[in-house]
Chain A
């Protein structure tokens, strides 16, 4: 067991855990933030997507010992203008079905828009194909990202 201080959504969380523990489980079981989901544990599905130093990462496959003092942002702390626009578009188009993957989808979509404010369908497919939705809400995910992009113009 090793003590770590994780800075999540601007707050410090002290955890004393196995250094191999994936960040996902430190966030969920130790910091108690459960918006970030477990879907596969092997970086295949993207349900666990959080930002590390502003970059989207798969928290299920990142040992907590590799995090250092980098700022972690989870769905609960997503306050960027892109994040807010994406969430509004998600609600406006009723994107979610079961909803379980959507935290990860929203995190990836907001990250895309912060890099590329006007993505094409192809850009969206490239940026979002690491996020599996078993309900296959993909048609609406695409449409909502376009709508969010439009809402951020001007």
Chain B
């Protein structure tokens, strides 16, 4: 919460537009254009957390993917440390990607079931050719311990872990490359509330230690309140409101944001 306004912007998106064409009509012969991102601009300050909040279909996951150049977009630009990612050649883009990592919602779906944890976490180091084999191995072991797993877990397979442990593996995989920006797409939505608390605290601690900047995609406004410094509220591909989390929660300006905040379960009773 102690972010000064003068902090440098590490990741910035300007006027992103992304349209999907969707089959329509009962037999899918027709086609309609859906604007998943409609002129979206965001700025992530170094060392802080920017939450992207919205309901299903709001475009928040599309935004995450476009930021990391995993989806092509129609127009607009994404700047990482001032560099336009779309203008980079393949080699420079790969170098930039070391600093742009992602943590997914369902860790079981995003971890290769046939690879050992050590291989999964170490794969990025291998691809980017960072350090000798021994160094890579040590790095993987350190990272596993840092996220609360054991060195011996490197020899196990994803199915041998619980949901919370798998999310720790997903975090280790993303952070072993010492990235600058981590996009977390609903990282705690599939977890029990006690595990959710563990993972949120782990993400916060790692952010401090490694000076990470997070884009935090979530539909859960209670979680966002705890982890984010700033937020954007999305609805139907558009940003309807953005600002500091404390300001928006205490005085939402837009009707849609007010509706979202009023719908938080347990708010009326509290």
Q: A and B: real partners?
A: no
Which A residues form the contact surface with B (CB < 8 A)? none
